[in-house]
Structure 1
Amino acid sequence: MDEVVEVSAAAAVRLAEGASLREVLPDAGDPAVWIALDAGVRRSPWSSVDGVWSPAWQRTEQGRTLPDALRRGERLSDGRLALALCHSDGRVRKQALTPAAGRPELLPLVVLRCADWAEPVREAARRLLAELLDAEDAVRLLPLILRIGRRGRGGFVTDLATGLLRAAAPGALAPLCTDADQAVRRYAYRLAVEEGHLSPAELARAAARDTDLVVQRLCADATLAAVAEGGTDDDVLDTLLAARGAHARAAGVTALRRAGRSERAVAFLGDRAGVVRACARYVVRQGGGDPLAWYRERCGAAGDLAPGVVSGLAECGERADADLLRALTSHPVAAVRTRAVAGLRALDVTDVERMRALLDDPAPGVVREAALALVPSARSLDDQWLMTRLGPERPRAERVAAFRLLHAHDGVVRLRAAVALIDDPDDRLRHWARQAVQRWRPTADVPRGSAEVGELLDRARPLFSEYVLIRRKWEVGLKA
C-alpha cells in the first residue's frame, strides 16, 4: 500500500503540472486508486516559493496557492480541484466541494469526503452527495462506496446508495451481480434477494454459477425459500443438483423431499461433499429408505466405488462396519483408501499394525490419515524406526508423518526428532521443527544431567537467547 501511495504522490505533482485526471488515473473504476490519491496528495514533496514552503502541487498556473484560488472563486481544472479535495487543510477541502458539484469525474472524491475526519467537511460532502448521487452513479461507484462504508464514519454513503438502489428498477442491479469485486456481488445479491428481484430459476443459476461461497449460500437458501412458497420447478432442481458448489447441491437435494422425489436423493448419498451426503441421507430416510444399508451394500460389492460412499458409511455407520472399511484400505484407488482410513479413525477403530503398514503407502493422503490414526498410539511405535523415516531421501508425506508421530512422544525422543530437522531444506517442516525445539520442556522421563539433551540443545543454540538456553539446561540438571 505504501508503494501505491508513493505513486499517487507523484500523480499529484502531475495533476498540478496540468495533466488531466484521465491521464493520471487511467483505472478510475478501481476504488484503491482514489483512496491512494487521497493519501498520496498529503505525502507529495514540498518546495519553497518566495520563502513560503508548500507542497509541490499547491500552486496554480498563476502562481497562487490553491486556497487563494478557491477564495477568489477562480475556476480550477478537474486535476487541481481534485488536489484541493484531498488537501491536508479541512477548510480547503470544504471550499473545494462547492465547485466540485458540476464535475462528475470528481464524484468519487466527494464520496471519500463523506467519511472525512473533519465534521464540517463531512457534513458538507454528505449534503452535496445527497443532491448529486443517482442510481446510475451508485452502481458505477459502488465498489468505492462499499470500501468507504467500512470506515468508522462511512455508513452514510452505503445507506444513501442502498436507498437509491432499492428504489431503482430491478435491472439496475444486474451489472453488479457480475462484477469482479466479490464484495459488490455479495451486496448486489443480498439486496436483490431482499427486494425479490430474482426468480427461483435466476437464484438457482446464481447459486450454481458464482464462485463465491457467500453468494452460493445466499442464493441457494433464497431458492429453497422461493420453492417452499411457490412450488418446485424441474429446471430449478436440475440447476441446483448439477451445481459445482456443495451448498447449492445440498439445497437441491433438500428440495427433492418437498417435490416428492426422494428417490433422486439416493444418487447423492455418495457425493464428494459431506453436507450434500448429510442432506441426501435425511431425504432418503424421510422417503422410507435406509442409507446405512445402501452404504454397506456398495462398500461390500466388487467394482468401482466412489470415495464419497466410503465417507458416508463412516458418517452414519457403527463400529461393526470397521471390517468393511478395513478391507477398503487395500483398494486400488488411492482416494478410496484415504477415505477408508479416515473412516476407521472416525469410528474410533485403530488397527495399529495395519496403520503402520500404510505409512509406506504411495498416496500422500493415505499416509497422512494413517499417521493421524496412529497419533494416540505413537508411543508404542519404535522411535528409532520412525527416525530413519526423517531422511531427506524419503517422500515428503512419509517424513511429515514420521515427525508427527515422533512429536507425539515425550522428552528426549521429541527433542531428538525436532533437532534433526532444524536445518531441513523443506521450509514448512523446518519451521515446525524449530518451533518444537523452542517449545520443548523436559518431562519426568528425561534423565537428570542427560548428556544427549545437552548436546541436542547445543546444536539448537541459534534458536535460543543465551538466557533461555541456560534456563533449559538448568531445568534438566545441566550446567551451561
Structure 2
Amino acid sequence: MTTDLRTRYAWAGRLLDGESPHTVIDTADASAWTALDVGIRERARFGPAVLPSRARIEGRRIAWDPIEGLQLKLRARAPLSESELALALCHVDGRIREAVIERAADFPGLLPLIVIRCADWAAPVRERARPLLASALPDVGGPDLVALAALVLRVATRGHGTFARDLLDRTLREGPRENVEALLAGGDRTTRRFAHRLAVQERLLSPASLARTAAGDGDVVIQVLCAEAALAAVREGACDEVLGPLLLSRQPRVRSAGVTALRRAGRPAQAEPFLVDRSGLVRACARWVLRQHGTDPLPLYRELCADPSDPKLPPAAPLGLAESGTRTDAALLVPLLPHPSGPVRAAAVAGLRLLDRADTELLLPLLDDPSPSVAREAAAALLPSAEQLPEAWLTRRMAADRPAHTRKAAFRLLRAQGGVTQLRAAVHLLTDENPRLRALAGQTIQLWTVPPADVPLGDAEVAALLDRCTHLFSEYVLSRLRRQLGISP
C-alpha cells in the first residue's frame, strides 16, 4: 500500500485526537505502520506542532522547544495514552523516542512501532527497543504474528534492520510449530517465502506436503524451493507421494523437476508422455531422461508425426520433432500445415522455423489462416525475409474486412521492411477499428526513422503521410523531422 502526504498527515492528526492506531490504520498492513512512522515526523517538521511536547513527557506545562541539540533530561512523570505513546515513538526527536520506549511495554498493540525502532538510526533508541522486542516476540502468535513478521521483514531492508529479522528467525525455530504454519498459510509474499525457507531447513513439512505446495502455489520462488526439497526425498525412497503431485502440476518448472526426478527414481517410461508436453522445458527434460536410459526420442517423434490426418496428434509433437530432429525432418512437418487442428498447424510452422526451412511461398498464405496462433507463427517465420515479400499483397491483408490477427501479422512484416513502407503501413492502421492496432501504429510512427538515401528530399508521398499523423508529434519534433526530409512546413 502506498500513501500520500495528505493521508499521512490525517493519520497523525487522528492520533492527536486520541484515536488508537488500530482505528487509524490497517494494522495488518506492514506498509501502513512504516507510513505512519514517516507521517508523524513529516507533520512535526512541516506541519503544526501536534506531537507530545518535551514538557508533556516531563510532566511540566511548558511549550515544546523544537531547537535541535537542546539538552533534555526526560523524567517521564506524566501518564501517556496509547495514541500519545504512538506519536512519541515516532517523534522527530530521538531523545523522546528513547524515553517512551519502555512505557510501550504496557501496550501490546504498539509492538509494531517497537519493531521499527529496533532499526532506528539513533543507537540509544535501538538499544532500548531491542530487549523489549526480544521479550515480547515469543508471546505473539496467530494473525498478530503474521502481521508482525511482515513488518519485521519489511524493516529488515534498512541499515539496522537485521536484528529483528534474526530474532524472528530464532524465535520461530525455537517456538511451537504452529507459528511457522501460520506464516506459511498467510501473510504477504515475502513472509511466505521466509516461512517456507525456514520450514524446509527445519524439515517441518513432509515430502508429500512439499510436493503439493510446489504443484499448487502461485509463487515461483516457493515452487522451486519446495520442488527441490521434495525431490531430495526421492533419494530417500518417497517416490510416489512426491512425483505424483509434481508431474500433475500446471507449473512448467515444477513438472520439469518431477520429470527430471524420474531418472533418479528409475522410471524412464513415465517420462515418455511428457515428450509432447506444452512446455519446451518439460519436453527437453523428458528427452534427457529417455536418453539417459538408452532411448532415442527422435524415432518416437517421427512416429507421432507420420500420419498428417491423425486427429489425435498432440499439438506439441511437431515442435518436439523440430527440437530434436534435423532439417530432413521438415518433410514430416510440411504435410501438417493443413491439419484440422490450429495448434498443430501453428506448431508445424514453428517447427519449420526452428529447422530453418521457412519457405516463403509455403508460409505466406498462412497469414490468412483462421487461427491467430498460426498467423502469428507464420509472421515470425517470415520476418528474416520480410524485405523480399510483396508490399501490395501484405497491404491488402490490412483491409478492414480482414480478421484482426491477419491485419496484425501483415503489419508486422511491413513494419520490418522499414523506410516509407513502414510509415505507409502504420498510417494506414491509424484509423483501424482495433484500439491495440491503432496504438501499435502510433508507436511505430513516433519511432520511425528517416528513410534511406534513395528516397528523394521533399518526397510528396512522405509529406502527405506526415500530414495525416501530426497529432502524434509536438511542433518541435515534427518541424525537425520535416527539415530532415526536406519538406517545407
TM-score by length of 1: 0.89
Question: Which residue of structure 2 lines up, in the alignment, with residue 363 of structure 1?
Answer: 371
Question: Which residue of structure 2 lines up, in the alignment, with residue 419 of structure 1?
Answer: 427
Aligned equivalent of 2:396, options 379, 388, 391: 388
Unaligned runs of 5+ in 2: 66-72
RMSD between superposed Cα atoms in Å: 3.0
Question: Which residue of structure 2 lines up, in the alignment, with residue 444 of structure 1?
Answer: 453
Residues of 2 paired with 1:81 and 1:363: CA distance? Answer: 65
Q: 1:65 to 1:455 in 2, by over 3 A?
A: farther
Question: Which residue of structure 2 lines up, in the alignment, with residue 299 of structure 1?
Answer: 305
SS of residue paired to 2:370? coil
Question: Which residue of structure 1 lines up, in the alignment, with residue 277 of structure 2?
Answer: 271
Question: Which residue of structure 2 lines up, in the alignment, with residue 54 of structure 1?
Answer: 49
Q: How do residues 12-411 of structure 1 correspond to structure 2 at under 5 angstroms? A: 12-25=12-25, 27-44=26-43, 54-55=49-50, 71-134=75-138, 136=140, 139-228=146-235, 230-301=236-307, 302-411=310-419
SS of residue paired to 2:49? strand
Q: 1:100 to 1:379 in 2, by over 3 A?
A: same
Counterpart code for 1:22: H
- Aligned partners of 2:41 and 2:90 also within 8 Å: yes
Deviation at 1:267, TM superposition (A): 1.6
Q: 1:215 to 1:66 in 2, by over 3 A?
A: farther
Deviates more, 1:469-478 or 1:173-182: 469-478
SS of residue paired to 1:311? helix
Residues of 2 paired with 1:9 and 1:307: CA distance? Answer: 59
Residues of 1 paired with 2:380 and 2:239: CA distance? Answer: 45
Residues of 1 paired with 2:94 and 2:430: CA distance? Answer: 55
Residues of 2 paired with 1:121 and 1:432: CA distance? Answer: 55
Aligned equivalent of 2:467, options 433, 438, 458: 458
Deviation at 1:41, TM superposition (A): 2.6
SS of residue paired to 2:289? helix
- Aligned partners of 2:9 and 2:40 also within 8 Å: yes
* TM-superposition CA deviations, 1:104-139 (whole Å, max 9, x none): 111101111223334433343334323433274655
Residues of 1 paired with 2:99 and 2:164: CA distance? Answer: 20
Unaligned runs of 5+ in 1: none
Q: 1:194 to 1:434 in 2, by over 3 A?
A: same
Q: 1:330 to 1:135 in 2, by over 3 A?
A: farther
Deviation at 1:221, TM superposition (A): 1.2
Counterpart code for 2:157: R
Residues of 2 paired with 1:341 and 1:200: CA distance? Answer: 41
Deviates more, 1:66-75 or 1:349-358: 66-75
Counterpart code for 1:79: S
* TM-superposition CA deviations, 1:248-300 (whole Å, max 9, x none): 22222122212221111112111122221111111111222221111111122
Counterpart code for 1:35: T
Residues of 2 paired with 1:208 and 1:286: CA distance? Answer: 25
Counterpart code for 1:105: G
Residues of 1 paired with 2:52 and 2:400: CA distance? Answer: 59
Percent of pairs identical after alignment? 50
Q: 1:450 to 1:225 in 2, by over 3 A?
A: same
* TM-superposition CA deviations, 1:134-193 (whole Å, max 9, x none): 274655511111111123432222122122223334443112111252221111111222
Q: 1:427 to 1:150 in 2, by over 3 A?
A: farther
Counterpart code for 1:244: R
Deviation at 1:14, TM superposition (A): 2.6
Residues of 2 paired with 1:272 and 1:63: CA distance? Answer: 75
Residues of 1 paired with 2:161 and 2:62: CA distance? Answer: 30
Residues of 1 paired with 2:401 and 2:123: CA distance? Answer: 66
Q: How do residues 3-18 of structure 1 correspond to structure 2 at under 5 angstroms? A: 3=3, 6-18=6-18
Structure 1 residue ranges (4+ consecutive) displaced by more than 6 angstroms after TM superposition: 45-48, 56-60, 65-70
Q: 1:313 to 1:67 in 2, by over 3 A?
A: farther
Between Structure 1 and Structure 2, how many residues are aligned? 474
Q: 1:20 to 1:465 in 2, by over 3 A?
A: closer
Q: 1:287 to 1:72 in 2, by over 3 A?
A: closer
Question: Which residue of structure 2 lines up, in the alignment, with residue 472 of structure 1?
Answer: 481
- Aligned partners of 2:118 and 2:126 also within 8 Å: yes
Deviation at 1:349, TM superposition (A): 1.2
Deviation at 1:451, TM superposition (A): 1.3
- Aligned partners of 1:143 and 1:184 also within 8 Å: yes
SS of residue paired to 1:87? coil
SS of residue paired to 1:54? coil
Deviation at 1:71, TM superposition (A): 4.6
Residues of 1 paired with 2:457 and 2:129: CA distance? Answer: 73
Deviation at 1:36, TM superposition (A): 2.4
Counterpart code for 1:281: R
* TM-superposition CA deviations, 1:306-346 (whole Å, max 9, x none): 22222211211211111222222222122222222111111
Residues of 2 paired with 1:246 and 1:328: CA distance? Answer: 26
Q: 1:16 to 1:466 in 2, by over 3 A?
A: closer
